[in-house]
Amino acid sequence: MISSSHSVSFGSHLIEFCIRRRDRKTLEIAVEPDGSIVVTAPLDASIEAIESRVKKRAGWILRQQRYFGQYLPRTPEKRYVAGETHLYLGRQYRLKISADLKNSVKLARGFISVTSIRPSNPEATRELVEKWLLERAHYKFRERLDVCLLRFSEPEVFRPTGLIVRQLEMRWGSMSPAKRLMLNKRLIQAPVEGIDYVITHELCHIAEPNHGPSFYSLLDRVMPCWSKRKERLEEVMA
């Protein structure tokens, strides 16, 4: 994949965007939650054609940036100390840290309870909590995938060939041309309704690779309330 940075003027605005070239036939513009703009373009698309498309979509791009901007700045970095709050499935839990001869993490009465052989070491606590969240993400995302597939009249047609959980910097998920579903591990912090929205959104890309009218028509049919779920997701995860 080839990437490059460009910009165009629209009135008093300078719209900066990154071009990612792939072996595809259509051009897609995406505004990420951090406000950055990514244009995924065919290998042979000219810069002039790409800039022209960005200018045509400039109004929509600026609206999307304003939408995401209302949720910035993002939550400060966590310190992983006792009493600090952490999100799990849309709820806030306080961190409880105690010494023990073995390491463990579990939910208990409104707390994420961490027992550790190094209870006074925040980095050790971070590693334990992150490992636990990743394990929960793998389990919960597979559970919700099975639920989301039932929204489609032919579930097996929309079943991905694989599920990958990773730290993604600028998006909640993606669907590869090979039908591999990738989800941001941070989604385990989101409400279940938000997780279901992201999974369902990506499953729709199996039938409709681009964000065109046909894609949104399908998403509207299988999840009529998706826009409210998306807004809630961005609000909680800000």
Annotate 98-125 with DSSP letters as a single string.
EE-SS-EEEEETTEEEEEESSTT-HHHH
What domains sit in the chain, N to C, each tagged with a CATH number?
A: 2-69 (no CATH), 141-236 (3.30.2010.10)
pLDDT in tens, 124-135: 999 999 999 999
Let me know: does 233 contact 194? Beta carbons within 8 Å. Answer: yes
Cis peptide before 191 (omega within 30 of 0): no
Six token digits for residue 25: 């036939």
Q: How far is CA 237 from CA 30, 34, 73, 86, 106, in A?
A: 19, 12, 11, 11, 22
pLDDT over threshold 80, residue 191: yes
Decide if 206 contacts 215 (C-beta within 8 A).
Answer: no
- 167-181 pLDDT per residue, tens: 987 789 999 999 999
Mean pLDDT of 201-219: 94
List Cβ<8 Å contacts ≥24 apart for 210-214. Answer: 210/26, 210/28, 211/28, 211/30
Dist CA 89 CA 104 (whole Å): 19
CA dist 72 and 32 (Å) reads 13
pTM for the full predicted model: 0.74
Q: Are 95 and 86 in contact (CB under 8 A)?
A: yes
The answer to whether the CB of 151 falls within 8 A of the CB of 197 is no
